[in-house]
Amino acid sequence: MKKIIAAISILFLLVLTFSFSSESLRSIYSKPPEQWPKPFVDDGVEWTELGILPLSPIEEHKDSLYQIIELGKTLFFDTRLSSSGKISCATCHQPALNWTDGKEKSIGHNGAINKRNSPTIANSWFYKKLFWDGRAKDLQDQAFAPINSESEMNSEMHDLVMKLRKIDGYRQLFKKAFGSEMINPEMLTKAIATFEKTIVSQKSRFDDFLEGDKEALTNSEIRGLHLFRTKARCMNCHHGALFTDNQFHNIGFSGNDAGYFFVSHQDVDSGKFKTPSLRDVMKTGPWMHDGKQTNMEELINLFSDASMEGNKSDMIKPIRLTTKEKKDLVAFLHAISASATRVQEPIFPE
């Protein structure tokens, strides 16, 4: 009986996918999200509905944390945090590029090419673990890593702290932020992490649509929204207001990179990487952990045919999207991608 009910449910969802006109889809998705059709997800997937871009939890504390945030911003953009004096956090996470660097893989100390793509840090306050492989437990832990990495900023934290203590302007900034001129690694990474918590996506047209502007999305984008939630099966991994399940999956692109295995040391996690948020996705290419994917339609082709090489999650199945459906899906991805944030670089202390 359960199999019969499941089969009927699948048939019903398929009818929903193929039978709606653009006008009827607009009517359906103009309703509150809790009244939308149930998405196509595998059994056991704990999904949440797509939603309006949330505020960072730090938003309500920005006034009281102003001095720490401003210090963190200054440190984030200051190339003196690297041993060469040429690389800052903003080198790989540029505001004008939606907090990415636009490269396949980031370039670090002495031109070293790093093994992975630099993801956007917008909305990074949301993640339970940071980096593609989840090796950082929080933003403060994450801020520490590139500074000390030989292939990135190539600084040694103790030496960096001593360098900053010799800069009168930094001593004053740390005193304003923390009440002490005695700069230490904890203060430094906390300041950067606190600034990073303020970095959020701009509102997208999808947010405008959810907030009541029912003309904010084109017919193609609404068809793409419906496909995203149903036939394309995207919500198996990309759901909620930030379009990510905050989990790790092997989707067939791992190559020789074991990913999350380096953190968990469990064979089952070999080749798994963090599910990235799809907020601003059309502004943050190239895509995937190795930055190899440069064309979104071609990337969707791979998912449509499930033609990735190597081992992959059982959730990756052939879905055979039509050419029109692929274009509609890309159109929706544009609708959830907002313009870059304009950020004025700080004046660096002397």
Distance between CA atoms of residues 24 and 128, nearest Å: 38
Residue at a domain's end among 179, 196, 213: 196
Shared-domain flag, residues 128 and 152: yes
Residue 259 lies in a domain: yes
Q: For residue 306, what are the β-bridge partners? A: none
Shared-domain flag, residues 46 and 92: no
CB half-sphere exposure, 39, CA atoms < 13 A: 25
- Total domain count, the chain: 2
- Helix, strand or coil for residue 136? strand
Residue 75 lies in a domain: yes
Cis before residue 286, ω within 30 degrees of 0?
yes
Q: pLDDT tens track of the chain, all 350 residues? A: 545 544 444 454 455 455 578 889 999 999 999 999 999 999 999 999 999 999 999 999 999 999 999 999 999 999 999 999 999 999 999 999 999 999 999 999 999 999 999 999 999 999 999 999 999 999 999 999 999 999 999 999 999 999 999 999 999 999 999 999 999 999 999 999 999 999 999 999 999 999 999 999 999 999 999 999 999 999 999 999 999 999 999 998 888 899 999 999 999 999 999 999 999 999 999 999 999 999 999 999 999 998 887 778 889 999 999 999 999 999 999 999 999 999 999 999 99
CATH number of the domain bearing residue 97: 1.10.760.10
Shared-domain flag, residues 279 and 327: yes
Range of the domain at 49: 17-54+202-335
pTM, two decimals, is: 0.91
Burial of 110 (0-12, 13-18, 19+ CB in 10 A): exposed
